[in-house]
Homo-oligomer: A and B are copies of this chain.
Amino acid sequence: MTPVEMLAVAIREAEAGRASGGVPVGAALFGPDGDLWGSGHNRRVQDDDPTIHGETAAFRAAGRRRSYRGTTMVTTLSPCWYCSGLIRQFGITAVLIGESRTFTGAHDWLAAHGVAVTVLDDPGCVRMMTTFIAEHPDLWHEDIGR
């Protein structure tokens, strides 16, 4: 799969999150061979659960794993400290990010600690978050603890 095809999986998750009234951030975790281990989206609204960001949803969907060496976390939005901490703790090798214009998390910190970070700067991802933040600023600020 190309980076754009991998991002498309995360975007479909984000769109599903938006369609069900939630925060439109989606993610997917791919194994070392490029196979999809799991994907998911933010479920703060849907499950009343503040721990389920896109990245943690994808990580959960991937189930229990002995090692994350060689894996790639794909996410529509730059990962916050919470999700970046997850990536660092479990040794996820690469992070592929849809955009970091509407929110810049800790991806520079991840890169400084050896994670291979790529930001695709995808206009569709920017549009989706820009619209969401304009329509639901309170929900967005709640989700990132601001």
User: Which residues in A have some Cβ–Cβ distance to B below 8 Å?
Assistant: 44, 48-51, 56, 59-60, 62-68, 80-86, 88-91, 106, 142, 144-145
Measured between alpha carbons, how far is A48 from B61 in the docked complex, in Å?
10
Interface of A is mostly: loop
In the complex, what residues of B have CB within 8 A of residue A44's CB? 64
Query: In angstroms, how far is the closest chain B Cβ from the Cβ of A95?
Result: 14
Contacts A50-B63, A64-B142 supplied; 20 other A-B pairs, CB < 8 Å:
A44-B64, A48-B64, A49-B60, A50-B59, A50-B60, A50-B62, A50-B90, A51-B59, A51-B60, A65-B142, A67-B145, A80-B89, A82-B86, A85-B86, A85-B88, A85-B106, A89-B144, A89-B145, A90-B145, A91-B145
Are B51's CB and A51's CB within 8 A? yes
Contact of A85 among B85, B91, B142, B144 (CB under 8 A): B85
Measured between alpha carbons, how far is A65 from B144 in the docked complex, in Å?
11
Are B91's CB and A81's CB within 8 A? no
Query: In angstroms, how far is the closest chain B Cβ from the Cβ of A53?
Result: 9
In the complex, what residues of B have CB within 8 A of residue A66's CB? 142
Measured between alpha carbons, how far is A44 from B89 in the docked complex, in Å?
15
Contact of A81 among B51, B80, B89, B142 (CB under 8 A): B89
With known contacts A80-B89, A82-B89, A86-B85, A145–B68 Cβ distance under 8 A: yes
